Structure 1
Amino acid sequence: MSTRNPSIGLELARLESHLANTFSPDVRAYQRFAGIIGDRPSQYAKSPSLWNAAFTALGLNAMFLPLDVDQPKLPDVVRVLRASERLLGFSVTVPYKVSILPLLDEVEEKASRIGAVNTVARMADGRLVGYNTDGSGFLASLTAPVVDRPLCDGSIAGMDVLLIGAGGAARAVAFFLADQIAPGRLFLANRTDAAGQDVARAVNAAYGNAIAVGEEQIGELAGRVGLIVNGSTKGQAGLRRLADERVVMLEPYSALAPATPAPVPAGLDPASDEARRRWFEASRPDIEQNNRRSLEIAAHAPAATAAYDLVYAPTETVFLRHLRYSGHRTANGKGMNIAQAVDAFCDRVCAEYLRDSGFEATAVRRRVTEEMSRVW
């Protein structure tokens, strides 16, 4: 066996040794692979089903894998991926869209300005190059019919927007929104003021129309803006492992109000029924307070205000449900997820692979969009 180009099984075994999840044996039948790095993408990410449907439809001998990575293991995972000649590239999801930057060899200009990466392509020489397709995917799904009727018909220039969250995806959306809504204002609300202010400073250096606000101002601003966007992880399904190793759940919470969930009790399997029961008992007062405030805000938001949630698992978060109940137009992250995945697949991660396989760019983009929309 060549040490320079080992079998796919050996490469995946090296990778698997640094992950919190394992692969099924059948993945070793493929010649090329891509994946998604995050804390627990195997629990909620749509990307594996989308990308694998596209690979199958195009007859490509490749597969896409969820890569569950604990924070201390991130450098090791990136090192193993860089060394793999069979790797096409990978997506990046929470919480690593920012922290992965120093581990890459190069970052495109716009992604560097945003300060977050959601797509990484492996070059022929082994370099890992980072891109950001979140912002363009968000705008495409907001104003054009990617899979459903767009939430906003026509131009959003001059619209005031409230964006909740300051993580990697929210940063990308902030830059693209600020550009498109000018001279409208972009209000940035985040759980920690420092992170929100950091994003606002970066956006203002480019566009000058961002204002950082505290979570306590969400209720007031919801009554003044034309669009509310959740870019935080509040409402997302699955377990969330925090930087201090505590595990929490955020699915019962709305992005419209503060959330202070109790940690899953130490010593229990976080995925067990007992852990969930005890976590819920401890967190219930906070969940009830969050939901009450959210319903109040939704009830008093102007009828014309629309709501968009970058979260897509579950398909309707508490945030969206409360706005829908109160008569507002809503959309989840499905369209954005598909639009950014098509961009990453066709123009970044698989661009060279597709050219070498003889595909014409326009036709393959249409086919990939159709397949990803079909299986979502």
Structure 2
Amino acid sequence: MTRPYAEVIGDPIVQSKSPAIHGYWIAGLGLDAEYRAAHVTSSGLEDYLASRRADADWRGCNVTMPHKQAVIPLLDRLDPLAAKIGAVNTIIREKDGSLTGYNTDAGGFLEPLRPILAREHLFRMARVLGTGGAARAIIAALAQEHVVIVLAGRDPAKARALLDELDPQGEHHVAPLAHFAEPTDFEFDDRAGCFDLVVNASPLGMAGQPPLEFDFSHVPPGSVVYDIVTHPVDTPLLQAARAAGFRTVDGLSMLIGQAAEAFEKFFGVAPLRQDGDTELRKRLTGA
């Protein structure tokens, strides 16, 4: 007897936390379903999707590196947000066998910020560090929330091109990444009624990667510091931010948030999250 299933695909795939997340929610709901990991290479991507189209039990898949852009020409349609971002992290098999691409990274990124963004602000600004694939969804998400972005990268020209592509009407700014590594004596104005955010959207600070050089003199009072790195979860940036008195958001928040959005698309029901993901977080971190 077969049962519905979804997957995560990538190359490599062994590091993915998605099976643990979705498996936890499937068990919690008592669903007769599965969530698997599939190692799919770039050369095997087209054949993989062709075979899954014909499988009525396959609900879809999450897409990790390096396939988030490569899958787009192989799909039948794109959700407008995925089309704007130019990357797909969730594919859904429709009942007729057609494939629709979504991007749940943007919603997952915003989820822990929703209570703050629901308030009215005089001004919203985010300093986003990094211009890689992850930054695309984050820029699009912040632009939708009327946040002025300062995008910092090693190549300011690339940063400007990214902003012009994703939010051409926005009044955003660019800066070299090294700018934030050096102390500043800039005096911030009154931030009452403002929303300020610092996001590490780069792999810097991840295990095996160089550290993120960042000086907290660039952070306005009352800012939220958000690091999307998940290994380690408690990064040096977050530790330093807490020590300096700032609110923090870790990478598991985005990871779990984007997974929840995908889970509902796969299985037609929202995951159980009444405990604020406490138990799931323990399982993911081994705490």
- Which of the five TM-score ranges fits, normalised by the shorter chain? 0.7 to 0.9
Asked whether the equivalents of residues 338 and 372 of structure 1 are also in contact (C-alpha less than 8 Å), the reply is no
2:175 to 207, 213, 232: 213
Q: Aligned-pair distance for 1:154?
A: 3.4
Question: Matched residues in 2 for 1:333 and 1:375: separation?
Answer: 14
Residue-by-residue CA offset, 1:129-169 (whole Å, 9 max, x unaligned): 1011221222221133xxxxx7x783456122111223343
Q: Aligned-pair distance for 1:308?
A: 0.2
**Corresponding residue of 2:285:** none
Q: What SS is found at the alignment partner of 1:308?
A: strand
- Provide closer, same or farther for how the CA distance between residues 316 and 76 of structure 1 changes in structure 2, counting only shifts above 3 A: farther
Calculate the TM-score normalised by the size of structure 1: 0.63
Q: What SS is found at the alignment partner of 2:95?
A: coil
Question: Matched residues in 2 for 1:91 and 1:322: separation?
Answer: 33
Residue-by-residue CA offset, 1:36-56 (whole Å, 9 max, x unaligned): 22333421x332112112222
Answer yes or no: is 1:115 the counterpart of 2:86: yes
**Corresponding residue of 1:180:** 145
How many residue pairs get aligned? The number is: 272
Q: What SS is found at the alignment partner of 1:343?
A: helix
1:334 to 245, 249, 252: 252
**Corresponding residue of 1:286:** none
**Corresponding residue of 1:226:** 196
**RMSD (CA atoms):** 3.0
Give the counterpart letter for 1:32 in structure 2: P
Q: What SS is found at the alignment partner of 2:202?
A: coil
2:30 to 38, 59, 67: 59
**Corresponding residue of 1:140:** 111
Answer yes or no: is 1:167 the counterpart of 2:85: no
Asked whether the equivalents of residues 51 and 372 of structure 1 are also in contact (C-alpha less than 8 Å), the reply is no
Answer with 1 or 2: which has the greater Rg: 1
Answer yes or no: is 1:375 the counterpart of 2:259: no
Asked whether the equivalents of residues 170 and 231 of structure 1 are also in contact (C-alpha less than 8 Å), the reply is yes
Q: Aligned-pair distance for 1:372?
A: 8.5
Q: Aligned-pair distance for 1:229?
A: 0.6
- Provide closer, same or farther for how the CA distance between residues 300 and 215 of structure 1 changes in structure 2, counting only shifts above 3 A: closer
**Structure 1 residue ranges without an equivalent (≥5):** 1-28, 145-149, 238-248, 258-293, 352-363
Q: What SS is found at the alignment partner of 2:123?
A: coil
2:4 to 29, 32, 57: 32
> More strand per residue: 1 or 2?
2
**Corresponding residue of 1:315:** 233
Calculate the TM-score normalised by the size of structure 2: 0.81
Answer yes or no: is 1:42 the counterpart of 2:14: yes
Asked whether the equivalents of residues 338 and 369 of structure 1 are also in contact (C-alpha less than 8 Å), the reply is no
**Structure 2 residue ranges without an equivalent (≥5):** 189-194, 282-287
Question: Matched residues in 2 for 1:372 and 1:344: separation?
Answer: 18
